[in-house]
Amino acid sequence: MPDEIIEGIMSYLSFHEASEARRVCKLFNRHCQQKLNRGFSKIDKLHGQIQKEVKNKLPRRESERRNHPLARHVDILSAIETRLSLLGMSYSKYIDSGLCCFIPGKVLDELHSILYRLQSSDQPPRSHEFLQELRDISSMAMEHFDEKIAPGLKSRLPTVNLPYPFSDPCTSSTGFFQFPTTTVRTPSMRSEVVNLGIQVRGQTSNVQQVKRDMSEIRNSYTYYKKRIFDQDKKIAQQNRTICELEKKVNDLNQKFNDLATEFQKLRENQDSGDSRSSGPCLAKEGFQEEFIEDVKVSCTVKNKALKRKSGTSGRSTGVKKSRK
């Protein structure tokens, strides 16, 4: 089957499916390795492109960047940069030597999904929530590679013979004694230095993010401490008010008890006095009734006399005498 057809078939596979399809045969292994290596380099370039676009949109002042709508984008891209640098430090040396490919295809799928969601979202979640899955699977992949695969690949790394300034003088061909030359593995120092620089930049951005988080936590702590102090002050004031009200309630209860005892005494005295003065009261009531009857009789008599004298001519003099 031509390579173009196989590559067309591979284009329909995800990176995780391509990493699983490597076990089919040697031909599939070769094409899947190429797909995984190209995918890692493409994601690295895509990340650099997105990071450059985001940084061009940010203001130059550091204080204005914190409240900018793209602040979360910057944090997420910095964390992805750190992850890419760690993955490159684990795999790039062996990929450059042709000993293996970028094995964890699931990590590439997750990176691809995160970068495209980051491009389409205006307000993504916080970095620790957005990149939790990526941290987990990339950490497991690097640990498995370092523990299970890398020890077997280190012995297959190419070696080089170094001249006198970089080796033991006794091993140089111009020395007096000829010893077998020592072999040193190529460390690919340039890629290591580049990866270390990327890692340092990523860690610097992470440290800045941690400092910002600590500043926010410190401000929140101060604010809530002040609120707790105010609440304690209000509680103390309310406790004092409650004590005063309890004191007043106790005083009113005491006064009420005193009045109740006095009222009870007065009621007892009134009951005893009523029982003693019941006879004289009845006599007084009879005398009052007789007096009222006499007054009524005298009033009727006077009215009749006034009516009789009203027809006479000397009404005014009779009225004056009657009034006197």
- Residue-wise pLDDT for 202-248, tens only, equals 788 788 888 888 988 999 899 999 999 999 999 999 999 999 998 89
Look at residue 58 in the predicted model and tell me its pLDDT. 76
Report if residue 255 sits inside a domain: no
Quick one: average pLDDT of 1-12? Answer: 80
What value does the mean pLDDT take over residues 282-309? 61
Least confident stretch, 58-72, 131-145, 245-259: 58-72
User: Does the structure show a pLDDT above 70 at 315?
Assistant: no
In a domain, 206, yes or no: yes
Domain assignment of residue 13, yes or no = yes
Determine the distance from the C-alpha atom of residue 323 to the mean position of all C-alpha atoms in its chain, rounded to a whole number.
102
- Report the distance separating Cα 266 and Cα 34, nearest Å: 113
Query: Residue 205: phi, psi to the nearest 5?
Result: -65, -35
- Taking residues 264-272, report their average pLDDT: 83
Residue 172: the pLDDT is: 43
- Tell me, yes or no, whether 84 lies in a domain: yes
Give the lowest-confidence range in 41-50, 134-143, 178-187.
178-187
Residue 152: inside a domain: yes
pLDDT above 70 covers a percentage of the chain that reads: 72
In a domain, 62, yes or no: yes
Mean pLDDT within 259-272: 84
Q: What is the DSSP letter of 311?
A: T
Dihedral sign for Cα 173, 177, 178, 181, please. negative
Query: What's the pLDDT score for residue 217?
Result: 92
Q: Which position has the token pair 């061009």?
A: 56
Please determine, for residue 182, whether its predicted confidence score (pLDDT) is greater than 80: no
The arithmetic mean of pLDDT across residues 187-195, rounded, is 66
Number of domains in the chain: 1
Predicted local distance difference test score (pLDDT) of residue 236: 92
Task: Let me know if residue 224 belongs to a domain.
Answer: yes
Predicted pLDDT of residue 159: 62
196 vs 82: CA distance, rounded Å: 10
Q: pLDDT for 11-35, tens place per residue?
A: 888 888 888 888 888 888 888 888 8
Instruction: Calculate what percentage of the chain has a pLDDT beyond 90.
Output: 7
Q: Quick check: is 196 in a domain?
A: yes
Q: Per-residue pLDDT averaged across 152-181, rounded?
A: 53
Residue 183 bridge partners (DSSP): 161
User: Residue 170's pLDDT band (boundaries 50, 70, 90)?
Assistant: very low
Mean pLDDT, the chain, rounded, equals 75
**Region 115-121: what's the mean pLDDT?**
80
| Domain span including residue 196 | 3-157+188-229
**What pLDDT does 302 receive?**
62
Letter string b/e over residues 74-104, b meaning 16 or more CB atoms within 10 A of that residue's CB: bbbbbbbbbbbbbbbbbbbbbbeeebbbbbb
Taking the model in full, what pTM does it have?
Answer: 0.46
Measured distance CA(256)–CA(119) in Å, rounded: 79
Span of 39-53, 158-172, 218-232 with lowest mean pLDDT: 158-172
CB contact at 8 A, 255 and 249: no
- pLDDT, tens digit (0-9, with 9 covering 90-100), for 49-84: 888 888 888 777 766 667 677 777 788 888 888 888
